[in-house]
Amino acid sequence: MSLRFEESQLELAHRILSAGPICDECLGRPYARVGRGWTNGQRGEALRTAHPDVGTPGTCWICGGLFDGATLWAERALQEASGIEFATYLFGVRLSPRLQEMESLFAKRFPSAEGESMKHAFNRAVGKAFEAGLPHPATVDFASPDVSFVVGLAPSSLRLHITSLYVYGRYRKLTRGIPQTKWPCRRCRGRGCTACGFTGKQYPESVEEWIAAPLLDAAEAEMAHLHGAGREDIDARMLGDGRPFVLEVCAPRRRSLDLAPLREAVNRHAMGRVEVSELSFVDRRTIAMLKGVDAAKRYRAAVEFDGPVESDRLAEALSSLCGEIEQRTPQRVAHRRADRIRRRRLVHASGETRDSCHAVIELEGEGGLYIKELISGDEGRTNPSLSGRLGVGARVTELDVLQVVSDAFPDRTRSVDNSEPLP
């Protein structure tokens, strides 16, 4: 199909060509929607040929020769991206203030309803040249590309961003004393000191690190963040069907990972400390979703009393506890949380004594209920409490989360095997 221009369009081209030196790309841009299967450069060339009597040689007064550099930018991007796996990409350009000014001047002087902006045309031109140079097929993706490039013009720079991978799963933490995420050493804040043995860490291991290690290897990445649907205390286990999480693997050089063997690798590698369920890829919005769920939780607590407690009295006290619990921010977290009073419902409480001073208790409560304080009373800050009801000091010696309950999670919450014994 040949390119056909209407009389008014040819007249516009005449005026544009008379205004100063211009490149074919910029001359063609006001006609970007005229004819199919043509490049702006070809449109510009056709219009220039139609007006042999006008036009000035020289550097384009609008883009300053920007489009001549498209191939060079594409080559730079190909170098940056070499060795990185991706199927989709996106280019973006930061125009200099001067170019922005020229562009708006051009649009104002020669308005066209069929035009394309300098930015848009340039991003597409570089993308085309980039695709042509790739050893494998890739397509442009405006919403969530695997890799994206930002071309900076003044000063000249090319920034490559590799989109993170997001892996959903549930973890079980079978050992006490492991934090969910890596904690920087309190003394050196992560730089490394004698107190932390120069690891920079407060705890030698974390759920995050156990899960991340095999995935980092497979993805050829260096950093990962674990985003959990809430977190249990460091000394609490996470049992049942586990706690939902998203592991964000930053800047992966490999992204087509086979998750089934990686799950096995995590479970083998963590040697019974941490276990993960089936893993699946999700997008980053799942993180916000997990953080937004205020899931109810079921717990099992080993409790120690300061004096003897009979099993009938325990059962009575527990059933009378169900309902609204008023909790002032616990002393143990007061240094990092605002001091306020909140109300959460305890929906289930039952248990049995092991001997006169020990019991095992199961509880289910709304998200945010502090269990240790519900048992101890936290010196009157939690009301009612088990200790208050019994009139004897009580404290949790061991705590397990049995279930994180919500049907908002991607895999729901399945029924739970409740038969695991306390150690």
For Zn ion, the binding residues (CB under 5 A) are 23, 26, 60, 62-63, 185, 187-188, 193, 195-196
Cβ nearer to Zn ion, comparing 32 with 221: 32
CB of 191 to Zn ion, least distance (A): 7
Query: In one letter, which amino acid is 260?
Result: A
Q: Which two tokens stand for residue 67?
A: 């489009």
- Active-site annotation holder among 53, 146, 217, 233: 233
CB of 95 to Zn ion, least distance (A): 12
Residue 201 Cα distances to 118, 210, 335, angstroms:
49, 14, 20
Q: How far apart are CA 127 and CA 411, in angstroms?
A: 38
Any long-range contacts for 378-382 (C-beta under 8 Å, 24+ apart)? 378/327, 378/328, 378/330, 378/331, 379/331, 381/327, 381/328, 381/329, 381/330, 381/331, 382/325, 382/326, 382/327, 382/328, 382/330
- In three-state secondary structure terms, 115 is coil
Cβ nearer to Zn ion, comparing 35 with 184: 184
CB of 394 to Zn ion, least distance (A): 36
CB of 178 to Zn ion, least distance (A): 18
Cβ nearer to Zn ion, comparing 5 with 183: 183
Is 146 an annotated catalytic residue? no
Pair 364, 297: CB distance under 8 Å: yes
Cβ nearer to Zn ion, comparing 188 with 259: 188
Q: How far apart are CA 236 and CA 46, in angstroms?
A: 74
Residue whose CB is nearest to Zn ion in the complex, by number: 185
CB of 15 to Zn ion, least distance (A): 16
- In three-state secondary structure terms, 196 is coil
Cβ nearer to Zn ion, comparing 44 with 240: 44
Cβ nearer to Zn ion, comparing 23 with 162: 23
Residue 153 Cα distances to 156, 177, 251, angstroms:
4, 52, 24
Question: Residue 249: CA atoms inside 13 Å, Cβ hemisphere, count?
Answer: 24
CB of 199 to Zn ion, least distance (A): 7
Q: How far apart are CA 423 and CA 413, in angstroms?
A: 25
> Catalytic residue numbers?
233
